[in-house]
Structure 1
Amino acid sequence: MIIQTDIVDLDTATGTMRCHVYRPQASGTFPCILFYSEIFQITAPIERSARILAGHGFAVVVPEVFHELNPIGTVLAYDDVGKDKGNNDKFTKPLEHHDSDANSMIAYFEQQSYCTGTFAAMGVCIGGHLAFRAALNERILSTYCLYATDIHSNTLPCQDGNDSFSRAGDIQGELTMVWGKQDPHVPTEGRQKIYQQLTETERHFSWHELNAQHAFMRDEGDRYDAELALYCYKMAIDQFRRTL
């Protein structure tokens, strides 16, 4: 499919949030994927990933995940300065604000003429965590998380008892978790902890551990694994077509 790109500035509980929307040019309605970026926000690799998904028949919404903490349009560089700023943002914004962001996106896009009103979530790195977090919303029918950070460690700010790990049992839709076994950000013990929590809460989930490093989906840098990236895109697209 040929796709088109729109920019939408949404009102949220914590201020204006810019979203980039990638969707087919063809007439019709399409399921909506909330696609969450890394800490660097909407970089070129994130945009290319969103275009790949949209080209398979989805309306893909990419929010600026730290909109409260940066001027609209901020994109951080893949360098030490960008990493330090992004990590500072990650440890500053409460999870509750990400929840209200998701509510705002769902409320807006379910009213758009090109959306079916069905929603999924997908993300990479911190975005994998935010997709997992979005899955707590009953409107999210299907979720695909890639090397999600900070779930096992409960290191993101939130109210007591409202961390994503403790609330895993609230996820109602289908969930897929994908990990790189050579990823130092989520060690074996952390992955096992999450797996046990999802098992004990009897969630509907699939689990994949690949021989890959952190950020293996990002098509810039020396950790990119093109074959595994294609494999994961196909898994995600197949899941979303089946569940949405």
Structure 2
Amino acid sequence: MTNVQGVSLDLPTPDGTADAYFAHPDDGAPHPGVLLYMDAFGLRPRLEEMARRLAGHGYAVLVPNVLHRAGRAPLVELPEHINPAERPELFHQLMPLIEALTPELAMRDAGAYLDWLAASPLVADGPVGATGYCMGGVLALRTAAAYPDRVAAVGSFHAGRLVTEAEDSPHRLLDRITAELYFGHADQDASLPTEQIQALERALDVAGIRYRSELYEGAHHGYTQADTAAYNAEASERHWQALLDLFGRTL
């Protein structure tokens, strides 16, 4: 593990300024870029810590506040330990903000995030990786479909609603993707039941994409997030291994 630096910054998007966090090895050299997409609870110390851990393996990691139109992070007051069962109002506050982030708006932002990475002297030339958690897993997949020449690898962890009836359901975009994909599904995740996982895998096979889709037994939606009740240390470490293997092969 190398020493890393982390900095909070503001980056321009077509729809205003997005607050973000950027972590990178502190050797001053360019490293492969990674776009890390947040879960619903947003940009906060846990995600900054994850960005630094990834940077320690030799990556330049950008974590944008994807809900920047609604304000700077944190958008809601978060307890130190997040348990939605005890704080149901958190989701009531966050869901309208999440639903307002349409795929079109999110992908317009994604272009700005990718441009920022491409312009940074601390980011190596060439395609980047994307990793996302919960809603971020969907955003990472959409980004690979919208910018296939710029995203070489995607890790999607405990993402829900990957297969829906919508015209622009993530599984309908797979034929645009050139990246290698990895999915770490939680088996205790009501937002992605078994039949949806099977439908996703069929769509991946049809699209001819290089991918791995794995079920993490005993893991709940949100298992990577150490500041939440869903955290599962064993599943989280498995996710790190899978993500580092993926980026090691592709970036």
The two structures have a TM-score, normalised by structure 1, of 0.92
Aligned to 1:230: 237
Residue 74 of structure 2 is matched in structure 1 by: 74
Matches of 1:149 and 1:133, distance apart in 2: 13
Partner residue in 1 for 2:180? 174
Aligned counterparts of 1:47 and 1:154: Cα–Cα separation in 2 = 34
Amino acid at match of 1:210: Y
Structure 1 counterpart of 2:141: 132
SS in 2 for 1:135: helix
Shift of 1:74: 2.7
Decide whether aligned partners of structure 1 residues 222 and 163 sit closer, same or farther in structure 2, where only a CA change above 3 A counts: closer
Residue 47 of structure 1 aligns with an amino acid whose one-letter code is E
1:52 aligned partner: 53
Deviations 1:79-105 (A, max 9, x none): 323222222112111101111111111
Residues 141-190 of structure 1 deviation map (CA, whole Å, 9 limit, x = unaligned) = 010000112221257xxxxx433221111111100111011111111111
How many residue pairs were aligned? 238
**Partner of 2:116 in structure 1?**
108
Contact 2:153 2:247 (8 Å CA) reproduced: yes
Larger deviation, residues 75-84 vs 164-173: 75-84
Match of residue 162 from structure 2: 151
Alignment of 1:208-223 (within 5 A): 208-211=214-217, 212-223=219-230
> Conserved in 2, the CA contact under 8 Å of 1:132 and 1:164?
yes
Is residue 95–residue 163 contact of structure 1 (8 Å, CA) maintained in 2?
no
Tell whether 2:18 aligns with 1:7: no
The letter of the residue matching 1:10 is L
Is the 2:141–2:156 Cα contact (8 Å) retained in structure 1? yes
* Higher mean C-alpha deviation, range 136-145 or range 215-224: 215-224
What is the CA deviation profile of residues 94-119 of structure 1, one whole-angstrom value per residue up to 9, with x for unaligned ones? 10111111111111221111110331
Quote the residue 1:158 is aligned against.
none
| 2:65 corresponding residue in structure 1 | 64
In the alignment, is residue 186 of structure 1 matched against residue 196 of structure 2? no
Which sits farther off after the overlay, 132-141 or 145-154? Answer: 145-154
**Residue pair 2:163, 2:169 contacting (<8 A) in 1 also:** no
Displacement after TM superposition at 1:133 (Å): 1.0
CA contact (8 A) 1:154 1:165 kept: no
Structure 1 SS opposite 2:119: coil
- In the TM superposition, what are the counterparts of 1:3-42 in structure 2 within 5 Å? 3-42=4-43
Structure 1 gap ranges (5+): 156-160
Separation in structure 1 between the aligned mates of residue 224 and residue 8 of structure 2, nearest angstrom: 24
**Structure 1 position 239 matched with structure 2 position 246:** yes
Q: Which moved more, 1:5-14 or 1:199-208?
A: 5-14
TM-score by structure 2 length?
Answer: 0.89
Q: CA deviation at 1:122?
A: 0.2
Alignment root-mean-square deviation, CA: 1.5
Give the Cα separation in 2 of the matches to 1:92 and 1:153. Answer: 18
Matched, 1:84 2:95: no
Distance (Å, rounded) in 2 between the aligned partners of 1:14 and 1:148: 26
Is 1:203 the equivalent of 2:209? yes
Residues 216 and 24 from structure 1, CA distance in 2 versus in 1: closer, same or farther, beyond 3 angstroms? same
Q: Distance in 2 between matches of 1:64 and 1:154?
A: 27
Q: In 2, Cα distance between the equivalents of 1:11 and 1:222?
A: 34
Aligned AA (1:36): Y
Distance (whole Å) between structure 2 residues aligned to residue 195 and residue 153 of structure 1: 14
1:119 aligns with 2:120: no
Say whether the 8 Å CA contact 1:31–1:58 is kept in structure 2: yes
> 1-side partners of 2:221 and 2:234: how far apart?
15
**Equivalent pair of 1:142/1:174 in contact (CA under 8 Å):** yes
